[in-house]
Chain A
Amino acid sequence: MEQSLSQSRAGVTRRRALAAFGMLGLAAALSACGGSASISTQTASTAAAPSSAAASSASAAAATAAATTAAANSAAAASSAAAATSASPAQSAPAATGQQTVLNWFLPLSAAPEIAIWTQFVTRFQQAHPGIKINGSYEAWGNYWTKLTTVMAGGAIPDVIWLHYTRLAEWASKDVLVPLDSLLSTDKLDPKQYVFNDAMVYKGKMYAIPKDNGVNAMWFNKTMYQKAGASDPTFKYSWTDWLADVQKATLDKAGKMASDPGFSAGSTVQWGTTQPQTNSPRGEGFWTWFAATGGKLYNADMTTTLVDQPEAINALQFMADTITKYHVAPQAGAISQPGDPWLNKLIATTWAHHAEEFFYHDQKSDFPYDEVYYPQGPGGTLVISGGTTGFAIPKQSKHQDQAWTLTTFMTGEEQQKVIVGQHRWAAGLRKLVPTQYSEGYNTPNYIKCHVDPLTGNGPQAVAAPSPAALAQIEQAWGTMLDPVWLGKQQAKDVVAPLKQQMDQMLQQKTPI
């Protein structure tokens, strides 16, 4: 006892050293808590208090013992940690640094060439606007939505975000985006100068500025068509013509066509088409095919679904039959080779926008190909569809004016010309759409498929309808229709409960 008391007075004991290390760790943990934006100031100040108290008690603990090097170092370390905690700035929130405004820009970019182009634009913008610094956050495509939602929930509100047109209603309906109409008007910018500007409108207000476009077409492998004894599709192609041709282009291991008796679907080595995009009603990938085969998904104001109507049932069943009855499209998992099966010469026809050609050249593919409109549906229905993505400004941005300057810069002509020049992305400005075509790079039919539908020449492209409840609709869609795509049920048997769920979701109230 006496020995332990004298030890406690003599110097730093193991207990005191452990206590000091414990407080150092506590200070470090609390300073790590001070990282997020809108709560960071509060966190930093509340963290400073216990850290200061910890530092004080560490100093007091050291003062009661004889001064030793170890104790002095521990107290100094605790004090430094407390000082660092109390001084830790908000890392993600926009902050005014002297005269300069820092804007946070959040968008998905994962390919190195894309990042290089957009960072080049950032450099140009900052040179043109010395008072604004851009803090760009380039996210992987697969993580973008989850990360954006989490970042915004955490209070680190970006000033400019990227939005896909199918997500516009989801976000605009939550009243988190700045309506841009007055800003467009002030700057004398005509919304119609942008492609698919209607797709960026929710309840009469425009919420995002388009930065690109994608109009879908049917791409076909000329060699496969020739070997199947089929003529090249024309712009008057019908679904009946298409089905007949792709059945001939679908071959099993023994070389039998899908239309031949004894064709073995289980040993298909070449398919007539890619699997229709059936896993979701989101976007033009699904909608063009569905609408082109005569289906209607929603009524005019998207308050109810028309999926139970005969046209929709026939369209859904036709999509399913391409897999389960005609065997011209593969089941999920049937294709073993990774990558685009059309580019890998496993598929005779595919459905994609202009970027399919970019990937063709990028992959140095070598087969002859061409493109036409989607086949025409019952009664000669022609559907040309596409979409856009663009930039929007969250309402909670503290620098909306500067954010608008950034948005108009990035969607402006100079930057758009650079984007169009690399062929991967198309123009967001309507007047630049004709410059997308490059002779020798694009097919001659490129103009008819991807330019004319946006420039007033011939049939015009429309964006796929995208209601605010689309994410929830996707859930119900998968539940009800997966058995149809698997051939276990018919479309007519599932549309009634699907309609019931979809109508409930479409009729949910939104803040605006």
Chain B
Amino acid sequence: MASSKLLRSERRDAYLMLLPWIVGFLIFTAGPMVASFVMIFMNWSLLTPPTWAGLQNLQFLVHDYYVPLALGNTAYYTFLEVPLHVAIALAVALLLNARVPFMGIHRTIFYLPTVTPIVATALLWGYVFNPQFGLANAVLGWFGIEPLRWLNDPATSKLSFVIMGLWGFGSGMVIFLAGLQGIPESLYEAAGLDGAGRWARFWHVTLPMITPMVFFNLVLGIIGSFQIFSSAYVITNGQGGPADSTLFFVLYLFRNGFQFFRMGYASALAWLLFLVIMAFTLLQLWLSKRWVYYEVDRGGLG
């Protein structure tokens, strides 16, 4: 009797403590998601009340010239940037896993770009990629390569955004660093006793042990990269040029919602993006069974 009373009391307290998050989730996340889903079937100019549109927005979405174009631009950016991002984050984490003096300062410096505001980053890289005086062309010049027009050429504009995105590898690096520091030293000792060199130790010990972190970074990286917006909006002035080469999906969604006054159609685009990201996430989850090693599952060495 006393224990069930205590249980009820604890349960009540737990729910009370969870209540702020639940209410916030309902108001700021779930509620807007439901409203956005309903908005797919409405015409809403933002300036007048919504009116019923039925399947009109979905029919337009199927035939919209810009949907595959924007998805293609975003996919190009994502599938080039994310693997490179993960690779660079891992490489730097391996370097920063060494025991050298002032390592804390080094780690801080490498993490700083991650906390730099996106708008400031975009403006900075706009200067880096300036065809006339930018650092990027200066570096190319060291190797005798002709200057590129970077953000002003459809052939190189997306690549410019990829390079810009790689600058913020700090968050992935921190995850990898934590993972690397959790690898038992005994595994390396055992590998060393078996005659494994540095590369073999990395390939057979380090990499398998950090596959959960690789997986985590890939999943979050793909989710985040598909939603690229702020840097493209700032650098291209919301145009997505030149020649729509940087018209990323969320930028197109923003234009529909706030510039073309088609919030219903923008909602349809938002849900399409949600489904695309969900599909890739589920695919990664399914594939992860083949290559992600969880120490716990195998009753690991712990």
Chain A contacts to B: CB under 8 angstroms: 1, 4-5, 8, 15-16, 18-19, 22-23, 25-26, 29-30, 33, 50, 57, 145-146, 149-150, 152-153, 170-171, 174-176, 279, 331-336, 471-472, 475, 478-479, 482-483, 486, 501, 511
Contacts and interface: CB of A to CB of B under 8 A. Distances in A.
Contacts of B47: 149, 152-153, 171, 174, 176
Given A145-B259, A482-B241, A332 B3 contact: no
A356 B1 CA distance: 85
B32 interface: no
Contacts of B244: 478-479, 482
26 contacts: A1-B2, A1-B3, A1-B6, A15-B10, A18-B17, A23-B16, A29-B24, A50-B23, A57-B16, A145-B259, A149-B261, A152-B46, A153-B46, A153-B47, A153-B263, A170-B261, A176-B47, A333-B150, A333-B151, A472-B260, A482-B243, A483-B243, A486-B154, A486-B242, A501-B65, A511-B48
Interface string B51-80: 000000000000001100000000000000
Interface string B7-18: 001100100110
A276 to B, nearest CB: 15
B259 A471 contact: yes
A33 B27 contact: yes
Interface residues on B, range: 35 or more
A170 B263 CA distance: 15
Contacts of A479: 65-66, 243-244
A335 B17 contact: no
List the 3 closest A-B pairs by CB distance, nearest first. A336-B132, A482-B243, A153-B46
Contacts of A29: 20, 23-24, 27
Given A22-B17, A26-B20, A478-B241, A336 B133 contact: yes
Nearest to B245: A482
B239 interface: yes
Contact of A175 (B9, B48, B66): B48
Contacts of A176: 47-48
A333 B131 contact: yes
Interface string B219-258: 0000000000000000000011111100000000001001
Given A5-B2, A22-B16, A174 B132 contact: no
B19 interface: yes
Nearest to B243: A482
Interface of B: 2-3, 6, 9-10, 13, 16-17, 19-20, 23-24, 27, 45-48, 65-66, 130-133, 149-154, 239-244, 255, 258-261, 263
Contacts of A471: 259-261
Most chain B CB within 10 A, of A150, A486, A511, is at A486
A170 B242 CA distance: 25
Contact of A146 (B17, B239, B258): B258
B243 to A, nearest CB: 4
Nearest to A332: B152
Given A152-B46, A174-B261, A176-B48, A482 B242 contact: yes
A443 to B, nearest CB: 32
Given A26-B23, A475-B66, A19 B13 contact: yes
Contacts of B150: 333
A262 B105 CA distance: 54
A152 B23 CA distance: 26
Given A1-B2, A22-B16, A333 B152 contact: yes
B243 A478 contact: yes
A149 B151 CA distance: 29
A501 B64 CA distance: 11
B261 A4 contact: no
Contact of B149 (A18, A333, A336): A333
A26 B19 contact: yes
Given A29-B23, A174-B47, A486 B243 contact: yes
A483 B10 CA distance: 67
Contacts of B261: 149, 170, 174, 471
Contacts of A15: 10, 13, 17
B6 A4 contact: yes
Nearest to B257: A149
Nearest to B46: A153
B45 A174 contact: yes
Contacts of B151: 333
Contacts of B130: 333, 336
B199 to A, nearest CB: 43
Contacts of A8: 6, 9
Contacts of B16: 19, 22-23, 57
B109 to A, nearest CB: 29
B131 A334 contact: yes
Contacts of B239: 279, 478
